[in-house]
């Protein structure tokens, strides 16, 4: 009997598990120390009222013989997939309901999608980026090549003609840097994918944070993308569903490889390995996309963006280089005095009680950078800003 030895090539634990363990260790030795957690991008505001109403109604339906639901529709309930098509119409993107698959979040699908691709494909991953893309491909034993994001390209790498890849991951607005590709840059990626017969896996989990209307919030706003891209999105960051779990994956019918429809392959995969998202939760997702739901969700997003401003205001004062925080809930800063990311993590936790995420956890180009999440409670963000300012005074 043999285990999957590819797992030996992974870091011992997932980035955010390592951070949680470090914070717990710190708390053990510093009891009573008030820690402000700006590490994992987890929301703090409760679900908006319209979502609660919809889910309560759905709970009651589940208790009545006439409205009770067992297994749901294969790709997710039509009411939710229709709501998503209307949401995309507002982005000038036309989708068919059967191009949408409801999931329990973007992370699972971003990992699971690899089931439909050959192990022989080469994967191109920007560095720094969300660690799930790298880890899931290491688990499968696929060849990974990296494309560098750094201060010179504003952490928005663009492919060159020499690079050969079959599967490309893009995340915009980016986790961890908060950088967002503009339409011309995304067009370059789409052209590259079409020329190389590659597939783009486009993670748009943070699209709802885009404030600048010129910036694309879906890759399908770019001509040709339906022939080469799969889009993954989620209600986690849009509407605080990190604990409720609901997302969706879009695979256009145009997208074919070796004459096979990727939509059909994914349907085959999902119907075999996944039994869907609870009816109650899907009703909550539908409520998010109603007119009132979008307004309520927007209020929460504005709250987090205000939090981001509270922090970036201090960074500006301290003359610390940063990006993000404007069209994304993450602030990506250069560690003062060129400190290494994990050293800065320890320093910040010890000196201020603020826990963030070391940039090195997102790839080698993240070394000496640091990510702060704006998903905290307003009062904690104000307190964090004051503590950061103190650090500046000490330095």
Of 40-48, 164-172, 178-186, 297-305, the segment contacting ligand MLT by CB under 6 A is 40-48
CB of 132 to ligand MLT, least distance (A): 7
CB closer to ligand MLT, 130 vs 192: 130
CB of 103 to ligand MLT, least distance (A): 13
Total of chain residues touching ligand MLT, rule CB under 6 A: 6
267 binds ligand MLT (CB under 6 A): no
CB of 43 to ligand MLT, least distance (A): 9
Query: Residue 48 has what DSSP assignment?
Result: P
- In terms of Cβ atoms closer than 10 Å to its own Cβ (0-12, 13-18, 19+), residue 254 is middle
- DSSP letters for 219-261: GGGSTTGGGTEEEEEEHHHHHS-TTT--EEEE--TT-EETTEE
CB of 136 to ligand MLT, least distance (A): 12
Residues numbered 325-344 forming contacts with ligand MLT, rule: CB under 6 A: none
Q: Which residues contact 34 (CB under 8 A, 6 or more apart)?
A: 353
CB closer to ligand MLT, 107 vs 334: 107
Of 38-46, 165-173, 288-296, 379-387, the segment contacting ligand MLT by CB under 6 A is 38-46
Rounded to a whole number, what is the distance in angstroms from the first to the last CA of the chain? 56
- Give the CB-nearest residue to ligand MLT: 41
CB of 351 to ligand MLT, least distance (A): 23
Query: Phi and psi dihedrals of 289, rounded to 5?
Result: -85, 0
Strand, coil or helix: what is 88?
helix
323 near 150, Cβ under 8 Å? no
- Give the long-range contacts of residues 149-158, CB within 8 A, separation 24 or more: 149/174, 149/177, 149/179, 149/365, 150/365, 151/321, 151/334, 154/179, 154/323, 155/128, 155/179, 155/323, 155/332, 156/180, 156/181, 156/185, 157/126, 158/185, 158/188, 158/189
The residues with which 373 forms a beta bridge, in sequence order, are 330
CB closer to ligand MLT, 228 vs 277: 277
142 binds ligand MLT (CB under 6 A): no
176 near 365, Cβ under 8 Å? no
Of 38, 75, 87, 107, the one binding ligand MLT (CB under 6 A) is: 107
Interatomic CA distance for residues 255 and 227, integer angstroms: 5
CB of 331 to ligand MLT, least distance (A): 12
CB closer to ligand MLT, 93 vs 129: 129
CB of 360 to ligand MLT, least distance (A): 14
Residues numbered 157-186 forming contacts with ligand MLT, rule: CB under 6 A: 175
- Find, among 136, 215, 124, the residue nearest to 173 by Cα: 215
40 binds ligand MLT (CB under 6 A): yes
CB closer to ligand MLT, 105 vs 284: 105
Helix orientation angle between 49-62 and 291-317, rounded to the nearest 10 degrees: 140
CB of 70 to ligand MLT, least distance (A): 30
Query: Residue 175 has what DSSP assignment?
Result: T
CB of 237 to ligand MLT, least distance (A): 7
Of 19, 36, 38, 41, the one binding ligand MLT (CB under 6 A) is: 41
For binding to ligand MLT (CB under 6 A), which residues are involved?
40-42, 107, 130, 175
């Amino acid at each position: 009997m043999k285990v999957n030895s590819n797992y030996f090539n992974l870091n011992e634990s997932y980035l955010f598990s390592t951070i949680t363990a470090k914070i717990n260790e710190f708390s053990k030795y510093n009891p009573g120390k008030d820690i402000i957690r700006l590490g994992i991008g987890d929301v703090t505001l409760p679900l908006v009222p319209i979502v609660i109403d919809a889910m309560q109604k759905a709970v009651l339906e589940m208790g009545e013989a006439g409205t009770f639901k067992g297994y749901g529709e294969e790709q997710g309930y039509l009411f939710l997939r229709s709501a998503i098509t209307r949401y995309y119409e507002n982005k000038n993107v036309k989708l068919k309901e059967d191009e949408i698959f409801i999931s329990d979040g973007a992370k699972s699908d971003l990992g699971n999608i690899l089931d439909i691709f050959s192990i022989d494909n080469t994967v191109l991953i920007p560095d720094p980026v969300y660690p799930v893309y790298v880890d899931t491909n290491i688990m499968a034993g696929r060849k990974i090549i990296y494309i560098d994001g750094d201060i010179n390209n504003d952490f928005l790498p663009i492919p060159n003609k020499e690079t050969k890849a079959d599967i490309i991951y893009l995340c915009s607005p980016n986790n961890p840097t908060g950088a967002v590709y503009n339409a011309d840059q995304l067009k370059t990626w789409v052209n590259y994918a079409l020329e190389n017969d590659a597939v783009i896996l486009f993670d748009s989990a943070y699209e709802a944070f885009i404030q600048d209307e010129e910036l694309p919030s879906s890759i399908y706003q770019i001509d040709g993308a339906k022939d080469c891209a799969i889009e993954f999105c989620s209600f986690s960051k849009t509407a605080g569903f990190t604990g409720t779990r609901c997302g969706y994956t879009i695979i256009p019918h145009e997208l074919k490889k070796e004459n096979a429809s990727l939509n059909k392959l994914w349907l085959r995969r999902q119907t075999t390995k996944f039994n869907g998202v609870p009816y109650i939760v899907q009703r909550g997702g539908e409520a998010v996309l109603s007119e009132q739901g979008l307004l309520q969700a927007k209020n929460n997003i504005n709250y987090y963006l205000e939090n981001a401003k509270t922090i970036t205001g201090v960074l500006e004062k301290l003359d610390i280089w940063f990006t993000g925080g404007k069209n994304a809930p993450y602030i990506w800063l250069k560690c003062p005095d060129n400190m290494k990311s994990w050293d800065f993590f320890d320093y910040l936790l010890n000196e201020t009680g603020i826990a963030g995420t070391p940039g090195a956890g997102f790839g080698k180009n993240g070394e000496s950078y640091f990510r702060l999440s704006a998903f905290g409670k307003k009062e904690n963000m104000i307190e964090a800003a004051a503590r950061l300012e103190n650090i500046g005074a000490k330095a």
